[in-house]
A = this chain, B = another copy of it.
Amino acid sequence: MYTQNPVFIPGPTNMPEVLRRATDLPTIDHRSAAFADILQPALAGVRKVVKSENAEIVVFPATGSGGWEATITNLLSPGDKVLAARCGMFSHRWIDMCQRHGLQVDTVHSSWQQPLPLAEYEKRLFADKGHDIKAVLVTHNETATGVKSDVGAVRRLLDDAKHPALLLVDGVSSIASMDFRMDEWKVDAAITGSQKGFMLPVGLAILALSPKAMQAAQSAKLHRAYFDIREMAKTYPSSGYPYTPSVGLLNGLKMSTELLLGEGLDNVFKRHARIASGVRAAVSAWGLRLYAQEESSFSDTVSAVETPDGFDATSIVTHAAQKYAVAFGAGLGDVAGRVFRIGHLGSMSDVMALSGIATAEMAMADLGLPIRLGSGVAAAQEIYRNTAASAIRNAA
């Protein structure tokens, strides 16, 4: 068959046609004035999306993982200590990357079902009288578990402890879909990629850096060249680039921020919350539970659904792909086989979400789980029809 069903993986997300077209740009000379018309609005747009007045926005031809690397290699020096919690597959990987680059990671091992362990962070930060901890790492939204953490609370801890550590935040699956307040939370480095809330193809690591971070980059000693934020920051004012830029993707980024800001960030976040509520209502109606335990930490971009003991959750993903041509996310790392994930971020409408819920129902029923067909759909429908306040406009 030659239909194209939506995907329900937590990224790369479904791409609106208008963004695919903005990205699929014919070759233009990136040393010409045309590039300025692309780069500058893209940077300004991202700055608004992260709610900052004067963050330096830096965009590399890379993925979010490249963004992690750029953050640590630009801001830290060999042997520096960083505080991090291992509470999901992606925080695990970031920790691993720090270690590969010769950093000393003060790792908090915490439950993957819980948000970042604030109490433990508090203890260690207050104990660190010598300010050996140079940076605190926070994964805003764990893509592997659907658990959201409280970045603002970490900032308050740092302030309370009068601790000067840099606050580095992985916002890969939150930025542009969930509220992110760079300036209010005094985030020093925020990292995301093009393929999540920005609804673009993979290929851009997007960083927002505070003035304090840019300052830190001057003295940081880890090696970096491709990912040097100083080179980027130096060439941007004249719309230059240290090497060949991904012009098409940057044009897509410009257009994406126009869409998001045009819809209104608050509306974008509310839309994600609405869609997520429907998915969560469906999970309840199925008699299942989210892997995330506390309602306050439920993610609005991805839901990891726990399946009964003894059942291989990954079989749902495989089966739905094979029989219904619909993609869900499998459990990763410690939760492999225990959860399957429904991504509901980016370009997602009520109607699309309902088709994902309906498909999950069929797949689970097919595999013998005691799911009543239509039950999750009905629960989500109830929410969607009561919250779809106004017309939604279809557009190319």
A150 CB to closest chain B CB, in angstroms? Answer: 26
A73 CB to closest chain B CB, in angstroms? Answer: 8
Of B17, B225, B362, B393, the residue contacting A26 (CB under 8 A) is: B17
Let me know if B393 and A1 touch, CB within 8 A.
Answer: yes
Instruction: Specify which chain B residues have a CB less than 8 angstroms from the CB of A97 in the assembled complex.
Output: 225-226
A58 CB to closest chain B CB, in angstroms? Answer: 15
A20 CB to closest chain B CB, in angstroms? Answer: 6
Interface residue ranges of A13-71 to B (CB < 8 Å): 13-21, 23-34, 61-66, 68-69
Interface residue ranges of A312-361 to B (CB < 8 Å): 321-327, 329-330, 347-352, 354-355, 358-359, 361
Of the four ranges (under 10, 10 to 19, 20 to 34, 35 or more), the interface on chain A belongs to: 35 or more
Let me know if A20 and B24 touch, CB within 8 A.
Answer: yes
A387 CB to closest chain B CB, in angstroms? Answer: 11
The CA-CA distance from A164 to B15 in the complex, in Å, is: 49
A46 CB to closest chain B CB, in angstroms? Answer: 18
SS of A interface (majority)? loop
Instruction: Specify which chain B residues have a CB less than 8 angstroms from the CB of A15 in the assembled complex.
Output: 26-27
Of B63, B96, B354, the residue contacting A244 (CB under 8 A) is: B63
Residues of A within 8 A of B (CB): 1-5, 7, 9, 11-21, 23-34, 61-66, 68-69, 96-97, 100-102, 193, 195, 201-203, 222-228, 242-249, 259, 263, 271, 321-327, 329-330, 347-352, 354-355, 358-359, 361-362, 365-366, 372-375, 377-379, 381-382, 384-385, 388, 390-396
